[in-house]
Amino acid sequence: MRLATWNVNSIRSRIDRVESWLTRNEVDVLALQESKAKDSQFPYERLRDAGYDVAHHGLNQWNGVAILSRVGLTDVEVGFPGVPAWGEPPQIEARAIGATVGAGEDAVRLWSLYVPNGRHLNDPHMDYKIAWLSALKNEASRWAADPLPVALCGDWNIAPRDEDVWSMEFYADKSHVSPRERAAYGAFLTEAGLVDVVRPHAPGPGVYTYWDYQQLRFAKRQGMRIDFILGSAPFAARVHGAAIDREERKGKGASDHAPVVVELSGAGR
Task: Give the side-chain half-sphere CA count within 13 A for 52.
Answer: 25
End-to-end CA distance of the chain: 12
Domains of the chain by start residue, with CATH = 2-264 (3.60.10.10)
Cβ 173 vs Cβ 121: under 8 Å: yes
CA distances from 130 to 85, 101, 110, 232 (A): 12, 29, 22, 22
Burial of residue 146 (CB within 10 Å: 0-12, 13-18, 19+) is exposed
Divide the 269 residues of the chain into consecutive groups of 10 and give the mean pLDDT of each group: 98 97 97 97 97 97 96 98 95 97 96 97 96 98 96 98 98 96 98 98 97 94 98 98 98 96 83
Q: Give pLDDT, residue 268.
A: 57
pTM over 0.95: yes
Distance CA 83, CA 205 (A): 33
